[in-house]
Chains A and B, each alone.
Chain A
């Protein structure tokens, strides 16, 4: 028990958990049958893309970098999947392979710019994000196309009694858990904690940063896949809101923007908090034109709660 508590404390998950409890309680109060299986299943299906992109951002932020192109990346992969010919041999599976290859290529470009050309990640990924968006628009000027229907069916299905979206998220977290126990994962965090110390200790700093981007973009691919399986068409503006949502979720989840501190579990919690906040605002019957306004206020409050929690820890 003590070990769990200290692990929670070190990963600074407690404030995010408390916040999650509050928004879940609100949601359950406003929405009858929130804990019913249909509601939970539809929520996890809706949240999965956001969760995955937030966890992707967390991996990069732990390395003391940012990726402002993840949203545009989701759009581009979505458009690419939608632009694939309907009679593609292999159907859904080859679409997955193509999508993953594209995601890894995009991640490799970002990683190379930041790790090897030493461009500031904030600017470099802002620029590549514009490029991804431009490519997505060229590929799909109007929303349209079609995603292999098999993907949509699979996404709505159950496997060993559990909904597939939940399994995808679980698999993504399992990959991170494995990476966190692997030296590459430790290098990613060590470089984020102190690049100089990591370098002097003999850590291949550039490769660690490159690896962080590649890992993140595997998750971005999963995010694009899950959102595509829901919309079943291509839209170049689909992922627009994901980028800054992911940064906010990372902060709410207690991952330090200064790198090294926090865990992708925090990002998962942060994504859930943000998703449920959207639910709460919807069910509270707030007129749609005011929804964004209230969402902003709630996020501000959540960030304030997190930051004041962090200050207390520093002072203690």
Chain B
């Protein structure tokens, strides 16, 4: 494709991008959030139309206005955010829009279910094909989304951050599938924030910045991380921000023998002021649920929680917020943001919800608060009035974090806050966490990326099957130990 331009309102998301995907090879697409990767891939897949530029397939110019037409030409995309119909069973989702049918369009259940099972098994996913897709975990939904793309017999396959919520073994099997496809002559575009994965799978690399091509390589091999960050940010001196000095103080939060549902099965946890504690482990070991219990989203079955020496029972998120215990939830689209409202309204939403005098709405103060947060978190936005969905993923996530910072949180809980967030914005989010910890807050963060926990946390708790299997700090806090502990009881 040549000279692709796409504007949203006044913002130019893509400004003359050229991209070439060759049969039998994998093109790595890198770039900060908001650089235009997702827009570009959605244009290729027919979900958006370019404002200018041409797309050629096999040397002939093509225009496709809908995903349906693109798929008919063999262009298939697996989205970063799985696009599944939550009420339909997994097997129906796999073939939605490309149903396996017999005479006159009636569904061939037997064949569809067989093929669905086979497709998921190839990815090593043990998923009940009759479960409604909405009941799956994020990682399982991602696998279904990928399996669906693979069943469409693609000629050009776009994988938009397919690994964001996958565990290492699942990533390995995905790469096996990708290699099998390229050997069969399929062109693949692979979008990821994880440089190691790009090194492992890509033949060529393209870096986008602000909707333009910032750099391209023929062969991936070893990548120079510093150079890529520099290309992505356009800042040659982009170094990781210095770690703020923090003092770990007194105990603020103690949970003992905490259990809730099937996911949380007996947690002992002590948190102190001024520390950043990481929650690690394989996907689905109860980390997200633990955070939700602590934030009052889920009911506690047994065990006790003490906050600042007082025994508390989390019942409602509202009560916990009043105590200064706040959660940045896993799914920012569903739980973190009011999608059709402005950046400013989202940033002010917590302040409005918990203000002492509900009949009084201090509009000017709320606006100042929003502006201060945009400044503090370096949110890239046209201003507080911009609709929040116009922001890139990383900046949306900064808004979710920012809404809690109006009043300093006592314990800030974060569930995979950097999912789908680029290296640069990731650094900025952790810098903010470091700053509030330095002010005396406690941070408990779950992340699927071990490296990022190692880099930013004071200690790491590894969860296996709803329990904390190991606590690592100091010298013992390294990747090998975390991985070993992750398989502690699961193996």
For residue B148, which residues in chain A have a CB less than 8 angstroms away from its CB? 201
The A169-201 residues at the B interface (CB cut-off 8 A) are 178, 181-184, 186-187, 189-190, 192-194, 196-201
Given A10-B132, A190-B96, A194-B86 in contact, is the A201-B106 Cβ separation under 8 Å?
A: no
Complex: how many Å from CA A183 to CA B77? 22
Complex-state Cα separation, A151 to B87, whole angstroms: 41
Which residues from chain B contact A183 at a C-beta distance below 8 Å? 99, 101, 105-107
Question: CB-CB < 8 A to B107: which residues of A?
Answer: 181-183, 186
Q: Assess the A201–B67 pair: CB atoms within 8 A.
A: yes
Question: Hey, what's the 0/1 contact readout for A58-102 against B, CB within 8 Å counting as 1?
Answer: 000000000000000000000000000000000000000000000
Q: Is the CB of B84 within 8 A of A181?
A: no
**Are B79 and A190 in contact, with the CB atoms below 8 A?**
no
A270 within 8 A of B: no
- A178: chain B residues at CB < 8 Å are 106
State the Cβ distance, A116 to closest chain B Cβ, in Å.
Answer: 14
A10-B132, A186-B99, A204-B68 known; A197 vs B84 contact (CB < 8 Å):
yes
**Which residues of B189-206 have CB atoms within 8 Å of chain A's CB atoms?**
none
A198 touches B96 (CB 8 A): yes
Q: Is B180 an interface residue (CB 8 A)?
A: no
**Structural contact, B86 and A193, CB atoms closer than 8 A:** yes
Q: Which residues of B, 85-112, contact A by the 8 Å Cβ criterion?
A: 85-88, 92-93, 96-99, 101, 104-107, 109
On chain A, the number of residues with a Cβ less than 8 Å from chain B's Cβ atoms is: 26
The answer to whether A196 and B83 touch across the interface, beta carbons within 8 angstroms, is yes
Whether B83 contacts A184 by the Cβ 8 Å rule is no
Q: How far is the CA of A256 from the CA of B79 in the complex (A)?
A: 27
B71 within 8 A of A: yes
**Any chain B CB within 8 A of the CB of A203?**
yes
A260 CB-CB contact with B under 8 Å: yes
Q: Using A202-B71, A203-B97 as known contacts, say yes or no to A182 and B84 having CB atoms under 8 A apart.
A: no
Please tell me the size bucket of the interface on B.
Answer: 20 to 34
Closest chain A residue to B130 by CB distance?
A6
Query: Once the chains bind, are B96 and A203 in contact (CB under 8 Å)?
Result: yes
Q: Which residues of B contact A190 (CB under 8 A)?
A: 85, 88, 92, 96
The number of A-B residue pairs with CB atoms under 8 Å apart is: 82
Interface of A (DSSP majority class): helix
Interface string of A129-157 (1 = CB under 8 A from B): 00000000000000000000000000000
Asked, given contacts A193-B86, A201-B148, A260-B85, whether A186 binds B96 with beta carbons under 8 Å apart, the answer is yes
Asked whether any CB of chain B lies closer than 8 Å to the CB of A261, the reply is yes
Which one of A183, A192, A200 has the highest number of Cβ atoms from chain B below 10 Å of its Cβ?
A200
Given contacts A181-B107, A182-B106, A182-B107, contact A202 B84 (CB under 8 A): no
Q: Given A181-B107, A201-B148, answer yes or no on A186-B92 (Cβ-Cβ < 8 Å).
A: yes
In the complex, whether B47 has a CB less than 8 A from a CB of chain A is: yes
Using A183-B105, A199-B67, A201-B148 as known contacts, say yes or no to A260 and B97 having CB atoms under 8 A apart.
Answer: no
CA distance A190 to B130 in the complex (A): 15
The smallest C-beta distance from B36 to any residue of chain A, in angstroms, reads: 19
Q: How many angstroms between the C-alpha atoms of A200 and B93 in the bound complex? A: 11
A198-B97 contact in complex given A189-B87, A260-B86, C-beta closer than 8 Å: yes
In B29-66, the 8 Å CB interface with A consists of 47, 66
CB neighbours of A186 from chain B (8 A): 88, 92, 96, 99, 107
Contact A182 B105, CB 8 Å, known A260-B87, A261-B87: yes
B377 to chain A, nearest CB (A): 28
A204 vs B96: C-alpha distance in the bound complex, in angstroms? 11
Other A-B contacts than A183-B106, A186-B92, A190-B92, 12 sampled, CB-CB below 8 A, are A181-B107, A197-B85, A197-B86, A198-B85, A199-B66, A200-B83, A201-B67, A201-B83, A201-B97, A203-B68, A260-B88, A261-B87
| 14 intermolecular pairs with C-beta atoms under 8 Å apart | A181-B106, A183-B99, A186-B92, A186-B96, A190-B85, A190-B96, A199-B66, A200-B67, A200-B83, A201-B93, A201-B148, A202-B96, A202-B97, A260-B87
